Structure 1
């Protein structure tokens, strides 16, 4: 599989299933997409998610109707048969589909999102515990990296105004990247980190 980040703004995501996994998927996709969840019953917490919940029993006969306008379908029921029928129907309509109980063409990985740095983590279903462990271990690292990316972005713009040579700018930015003094301030004291970075490359 090839990792791919995708913009879901103005896209319709249909989640079939109302359990805890479906709830987790809904919470994630409502950050960008319009989300509709279809299930016979819904886990506690759906009332706090800005999505459309439709109470309906999903059958082989009505799946096509349910997914008609979907850009992505997520099969998240507790029935292997229903999930398989959902995948088949989506494939027939060339709709992207993710099945939560088995690996298939689309994987929705665990993720860590910063303002500038995003990391996706997946084990192909082999070990959800490993995925969670890595996410917990990497979260503080990504927070620091995100703060560094913000500093680098600001310095790049400042350097473009003062130094025309791209190679020289690159070398100065790497001096900041390699500075333990800057990293020690991140992510909690980013302003101090930026101040030190400016001293290192001698710009105001």
Structure 2
């Protein structure tokens, strides 16, 4: 079963097999993430050639069925993306990748792929990714765009994020014990006055209010309503 993760790819080594449109798109994505990218193909898009001139990618002319070369490249790679239409190469790559503990993304086979590259978006620090796991890229893109539009129009949620992030930073800076912090996130998020300040877009007021609440809960002046915490878990 696949699970969604956000993984830091700065400095990770990525091999792309295929120098066409899909291979180019995947290469650009990983380059932007700071990965070290190599592309193995018999031919390369003009865009990849320009990226090579800029020193952003290494292009390797060769056959995807060349086992000796695959062994060498996959032993180097953290992730391999197969972006060619010929499905026959998949089993060979999967076999070699397992030996070298290299993750496999099959852009040509949604069912057999180990890693899914989703459609992603971001609004004011809220990142999200969508996949239909091969059923329809068009639908996944539409859902991604719907999420983005919804968040862009939902200013209260964006203000809520800013206020909650301040709460997190404040509690960490003041060495509030982690177990208490976990409870206070939920308790303060449900506080009517806090939510009222957020809905009014009064971020400064919300920040001052959460600092006051933290001090009162830490000192014991206020008691935690455990039902709010249990309800969230």
Work out whether the TM-score is over 0.5: yes
Greater Cα radius of gyration, structure 1 or 2: 2
Aligned residue number for residue 3 of structure 1: 4
Structure with the higher helix share, 1 or 2: 2
- The answer to whether 1:78 aligns with 2:85 is yes
Equivalent residues, number: 195
* Structure 1 gap ranges (5+): 186-192
Q: 1:202 to 1:79 in 2, by over 3 A?
A: closer
Task: Indicate which of 74, 89, 92 corresponds to 2:96.
Answer: 89
What's the CA shift for 1:183? 5.7
TM-score (normalizing by structure 1): 0.75
Aligned residue number for residue 98 of structure 1: 105
TM-score (normalizing by structure 2): 0.67
- For 2:158 and 2:46, how far apart are their aligned partners in 1? 33
- For 1:134 and 1:172, how far apart are their aligned partners in 2? 31
Aligned residue number for residue 129 of structure 1: 138
What's the CA shift for 1:132? 0.6
Contact residue 123 and residue 148 of structure 2 kept, 8 A = no
Q: 1:142 to 1:44 in 2, by over 3 A?
A: farther
Aligned residue number for residue 55 of structure 1: 61
What's the CA shift for 1:134? 0.8
- The answer to whether 1:149 aligns with 2:165 is no
Aligned residue number for residue 119 of structure 1: 128
**Aligned Cα root-mean-square deviation (Å):** 3.4
Aligned residue number for residue 227 of structure 2: none
* Structure 2 gap ranges (5+): 213-233
| Structure 2 SS opposite 1:68 | helix
What's the CA shift for 1:197? 3.4
| Structure 2 SS opposite 1:4 | coil
